[in-house]
Amino acid sequence: MKGTLRYLAGIAGPNGFGSRSTAEQVTQHCVFPYSHLTAIITGGTSGIGAETARVLAKRGVRVVMAVRDMKKAEMVKEKIVIENPEADIVLLEIDLSSLSSVARFCSQFLSQDLPLNIIINNAGVFSPNLEFSEEKIELTFATNFLGHYLLTEMLIEKMIETAKKSGIEGRIINLTSVIHSWVKPDCFSFPKLLHPIKYNGTKAYAQSKLATILHAKALSRRLKDINANVTINVVHPGIVKTGIIRAHKGLLTDSLFLIASKLLKSVSQGAATTCYVALSNETRRINGKYFADCNEANCSELANDESLALQLCTNSHTLIHDYLHLSLPNSCLL
């Protein structure tokens, strides 16, 4: 309740930023060496992802947009370059719901021999009806979690290598949602995440967002153990005026949606926490934490369950190996 009142009032947190801060504001005075950075952003063709790409590019970061719709990506790139002619934007195609597509994207990126300093696992879907990926995995879980899990695991060694050579800390940011806290322990079963018996879109979305936190928790412990100069944190952007919120609208009455919409963040405010964690010197050496409104916050008790996190990573690693026959090192478990 206290956090909700702070959000509604727009009160800044300990670092001076809060729910009303924008992505440009929180990166305006950062001292991180932007011009030497390369960042991958998934889902950068609209909403928070597009704004994150714009602001990072404005700060001098080379942005690799991992996108499903290349035409939309070209339009976003064009707008960014018009605003900032010096922007370095690379477009690569990916379908995060497809494990084979994710593997192709990673191979394509690695073949370009670019450094890799930042991964922002931003893309997300909300599916009101039960749908499956090409590997016959429930679409929301496949897109929001498994695709990003595979992308991170295939590129983590590149990040560690880049950080070692450059001396610049690598940063991974997983976008999550406060509704991860709605998931109960008895509702988080790996087989049922893949193939739900009774499907509920909001429940599936919440489960996928819990999974992104658990992955970050497990990977952060491993990165600390091997003394890698790479961190991973999770970000709740807030309730933002995006396509996912529009997809939820059908679950609300028009009057309730009108009231709720007054409390939504703008896209620029929604991208602020991601940009802050990605670029701020104040987040240096912070690892395995949950951020909201540009400040550290508390996630659910279930999201802090170490055994559940390791179990999720083990099951995900096995699943991907079975589907793709990849000799993928499990960074969470080694």
Long-range pairs for 216-219 at CB < 8 Å and ≥24 separation? Answer: 216/172, 216/174, 216/288, 217/288, 217/303, 217/304, 217/306, 217/309, 218/306, 218/309, 218/310, 218/312, 218/313, 218/332, 218/333, 219/152, 219/156, 219/172, 219/313, 219/331, 219/332
120 forms beta bridges with: 41, 173
**How is residue 248 written in tokens?**
């939820």
Half-sphere exposure of 176 (CA within 13 A, CB side): 35
Task: Assess whether 149 carries a catalytic annotation.
Answer: no
Contacts of 157 (CB under 8 A, 6+ apart): 329
Per residue in 252-283, is it b (16+ CB within 10 Å) or e — as a string?
eeeeeeeeeeeeebebbbbbbbbbbbbbbebb
CB-CB contact of 223 with 159 (8 Å): no
Catalytic residue among 199, 205, 276, 290: 199
**How is residue 185 written in tokens?**
């322990």
Task: Give the active site residues.
Answer: 199
